[in-house]
Amino acid sequence: MKGYRYIRRLTGYRFWLFALTLPMPFIFYATRLIFGLVLQNFFNALAEQHQMTVTAWLWIAVLPLSALLRGGISQLLARAQVLHSFSIVGLQQRNLFMHILERPGTYARAAGETISYFRDDTQACRDLLSLLRTVLGQVFFAIVAFIILLRINAEITLLVFLPFLAIIAIIQSLKERLSRYRQVSRSATANLTGAIGEIFGAVQAIQVAGAERHILAHFDGLNQKRLAFMVKDAVLTSTTNALFSNTVDVGVGFILILLAVSQSMTRLGPGDIAIFVSYLGSMGDLVLFFGTLLAQFTQTQVSIERLTSLLRQAPQSKLVEHHPLYLQGTLPEFTVDNKAELQPLETLEVKGLSYRHPESGRGISQISLRLQAGSLTVITGRIGAGKTTLLQVLLGLLPKDAGSILWNAQPVLDPASFFVPPHSAYTPQVPHLFSESLQENILLGLPADAAALSSALQAAVLDEDLAQLPQGLATAIGTRGLKLSGGQAQRTAAARMLVRPADLLVFDDLSSTLDVHTEQLLWQRLLQQPGRSYLVVSHRRSLLQRADQILVLKEGCLEACGSLEHLLATSVEMQLLWQGKLD
């Protein structure tokens, strides 16, 4: 989606608020024009009469009135401006958040990067619109001021405007270099902070490898690079800022020099000089803001590209789709669809399911399966065969490229919202735990039902561990569950699943962190649960032996399917997996 279309669609959201904010800079700069005219008339009246006349007093009285007018109108419109800013930033944040929630499997970014998308990139358009509005007001001011000054003294006006043009030309010539220096210094900073993150995450590995000296040298090198780029960036930015801020003084100096050398200046009264100085001050704003506006155009384009790149196959206009936002007043009641009324699982059918990861071009192709209620289906295959991808596409965590999913012969149109309790529950390969108590991690907001909790703990083989934990269920498990062993973390995630009513339980390889005995006990207890069906990724022999059917995946395709006996007799891939000859 082109940047301007993105901005146009965004501006269309609550357009009346945007329209209300448009006159603000015009009113602001109109009062500055009035202020200059008042100054001119006041000083000229004073110079002509050599004393405070009624006219002079009148001109003085106009000053606070114009300030009051400006303040009053600004106050009225400021609310519209704040609401408009929050609306367009909030709309993008809401749409981005919804997109991630709909397809969590496609979103794999670090927390810091995510904050930068949500906080910085969604604000780029707001900043651009705000600058654009201000610069339009300033251009209006510049044109009117130029005409007024021309009428006072055309010769001087043209001469005084020369430094402005010169400075705009200098800024333009420096613009490309400014942006290059800024980009290089930002990326040097990102390299450094990225390295700090990696070093903290790998302290143990560094110590074990005795690589402290090498890492410090690397860190020092990154620091030196950043220092060099930052100094260049700071020197150039300060120089251009100095140019900006001294523009007005240069202009005033120019007038004074002309006053000393030119006859024509003698025709200027003190009020005329005052209006020149006053207007030049505001012209300085235009030079400053115009340069910033040009830079903001580029930054906004970059931000729009960054944001839309997160959408993958979804239409790019999704980020600027219009939806209600609740910025004021009480929030509407939160309702969850009551899926309990829907049919309990009888059969689950998958036909021709395909998905390719855009980054690697790999994934799954044309997978079909049929699963009966109350059965255990095991998906197996070598590393990278597509087992996780199949589960994620089925559950709607990744968007399917092709294929269909049928629940009791009815098509599932939106798997992401369908495959949740009470239809199904899922434990991923790496469970996500929070730095809360064990109980909160299992319940995740469900009302504490002691019987359901205790049954889930028992089924997940957590009951014995619980006795060892200092505060039992109230034990805080640390950031991402770090105080738990890998196996405990995985069984906590399993208990979270079991405490919820769900017909279909989907597990992605529990065996990686469980010893053979615990895993056997877990499956023994799980399979005793009434009314549940299981879809499980595993390569453990004990589970393959229990399975009603096994799907063997190879390079993203369904290689074979059937009972263990049948597969061992007919599938070479299954034979190799069974003998542990493949990883």
Ligand X SMILES: Nc1ncnc2c1ncn2[C@@H]1O[C@H](COP(=O)(O)OP(=O)(O)OP(=O)(O)O)[C@@H](O)[C@H]1O
Closest CB to ligand X among 351 and 362? Answer: 362
Site string for ligand X, 402-431 (x = CB under 6 A): ------------------------------
Residue with the two structure tokens 């390719």:
356
Helices within 103-153 (DSSP H only): 111-115, 122-152
Burial of 75 (0-12, 13-18, 19+ CB in 10 A): exposed
- Rounded to whole angstroms, how far apart are CA atoms 387 and 349? 17
Please choose, out of 73-81, 217-225, 385-393, 481-489, the segment that lies near ligand X by the rule CB under 6 A.
Answer: 385-393
Residue with the two structure tokens 């597990």:
507
Burial 131-159, CB ≥16 within 10 A → b, else e: bbbbbebbeebbebbeebbeebbeebbeb
Footprint (CB under 6 A) of ligand X, residues 100-139? 108
Please choose, out of 22-30, 318-326, 381-389, 478-486, the segment that lies near ligand X by the rule CB under 6 A.
Answer: 381-389
**Element housing 425 (H / E):** strand 424-427
Residue 505 CB, nearest distance to ligand X (Å)?
18
- Rounded to whole angstroms, how far apart are CA atoms 249 and 284? 10
The yes or no reply on residue 360 touching ligand X (CB under 6 A) is yes
- Rounded to whole angstroms, how far apart are CA atoms 83 and 100? 25
Coil/strand/helix, residue 520:
helix
Residue 363 CB, nearest distance to ligand X (Å)?
5
Please choose, out of 355-363, 445-453, 459-467, 569-577, the segment that lies near ligand X by the rule CB under 6 A.
Answer: 355-363
Residue 356 CB, nearest distance to ligand X (Å)?
8
Structure tokens at 446: 């469900």
Contact 382, 374 (CB under 8 A): no
Coil/strand/helix, residue 501:
coil
If binding means CB under 6 A, how many residues of this protein chain bind ligand X? Answer: 14
Report the residue from 31, 40, 130, 389 that binds ligand X according to the rule CB under 6 A: 389
The yes or no reply on residue 490 touching ligand X (CB under 6 A) is no
Coil/strand/helix, residue 549:
strand
The yes or no reply on residue 363 touching ligand X (CB under 6 A) is yes
Footprint (CB under 6 A) of ligand X, residues 221-240? none
- Rounded to whole angstroms, how far apart are CA atoms 128 and 142? 20
The yes or no reply on residue 384 touching ligand X (CB under 6 A) is yes
Residue 398 CB, nearest distance to ligand X (Å)?
9
Alpha-carbon radius of gyration of the chain: 35
Closest CB to ligand X among 128 and 397? Answer: 397
Closest CB to ligand X among 36 and 363? Answer: 363
Site string for ligand X, 308-347 (x = CB under 6 A): ----------------------------------------
Note the residues at the interface with ligand X (CB under 6 A): 108, 357, 359-360, 362-363, 381, 383-389
